[in-house]
Amino acid sequence: MNMNHSSHTGIGTARTSSSLAIATSSATTSSWVSSSGKRIQREMMELNTDPPPDCSAGPKGDNLYHWISTFIGPPGTPYEDGIFFLDIIFPSEYPFEPPKVVFKTRIFNCNVDSSGNVHLGILKDGWSPALTITKVLLAIKSIFTNPDPYNALVPGIAHLYLADRTKHDDLAAEWTLRFAK
């Protein structure tokens, strides 16, 4: 990027240096948002072409940075046939920072807290700009079939999962019937 301010459009010599800094910062921010927006649009097209089974996701209204996702509980799990809604918020620094994923439907799972926050390695320390929203959705889908009680967000549910799987599954099925159907 050429930082020769005299050639920067719209900035006259009468402006102060603080105005110049603000104008330059705004130009940088808008091009950064545009870059992340293009990445999100490309991932949305890829997701629409080859979506993960029993899952959908896309922008909420016209906001490219706020998506709604829907998961159908996988057969053979206590979440079977439940419909689970999630919010996905992309930061303006995406893909260099992970999206924030929150379950809007209550779920009994050791990797999801009572506020709907999801605990997955790829959404925290394991994030890489090489990851895509499709990979995030697949990782979320995996907590329905393979929760990770050793990296749990809710230790009590993790303990029940490890100590009494039948009771855990009964409670998870009861919550699915109550909140997701």
The answer to whether residue 108 is domain-embedded is yes
The answer to whether residue 7 is domain-embedded is no
User: Residue 30: what pLDDT?
Assistant: 46
Q: Where are the alpha helices (DSSP H) in 50-147?
A: 133-145
Report which secondary-structure segment, H or E, holds 44: helix 17-49
Of 33 and 28, which is predicted with more confidence?
Answer: 33
The answer to whether residue 164 is domain-embedded is yes
User: Residue 151: what pLDDT?
Assistant: 92
The answer to whether residue 9 is domain-embedded is no
pLDDT digits (tens, 9 = 90+) for 54-84: 999 999 999 999 999 999 999 999 999 999 9
The answer to whether residue 25 is domain-embedded is no
The answer to whether residue 2 is domain-embedded is no
User: Residue 27: what pLDDT?
Assistant: 39
CA dist 181 and 175 (Å) reads 9
List the structure tokens of 173: 């099925």
User: Residue 7: what pLDDT?
Assistant: 38
What is the per-residue DSSP string for 110-124? TTB-TT-BB--GGGT
Please give the C-alpha separations between residue 37 and each of 43, 54, 60, 180, in angstroms, as whole numbers: 10, 26, 14, 32
Domain count, the chain: 1
Question: The CATH number of the domain where 122 resides is what?
Answer: 3.10.110.10
Q: How far is CA 46 from the centre of its chain?
A: 16
**Band of pLDDT at residue 105, cut at 50, 70 and 90:** very high
The answer to whether residue 53 is domain-embedded is yes
Lowest mean pLDDT across 21-30, 71-80, 97-106: 21-30
Res. 3: pLDDT tops 60: no
User: Residue 44: what pLDDT?
Assistant: 95
The answer to whether residue 44 is domain-embedded is yes
Burial of 152 (0-12, 13-18, 19+ CB in 10 A): buried
pLDDT digits (tens, 9 = 90+) for 139-159: 999 999 999 999 999 999 999
Structural domain boundaries, residue 167 = 35-180
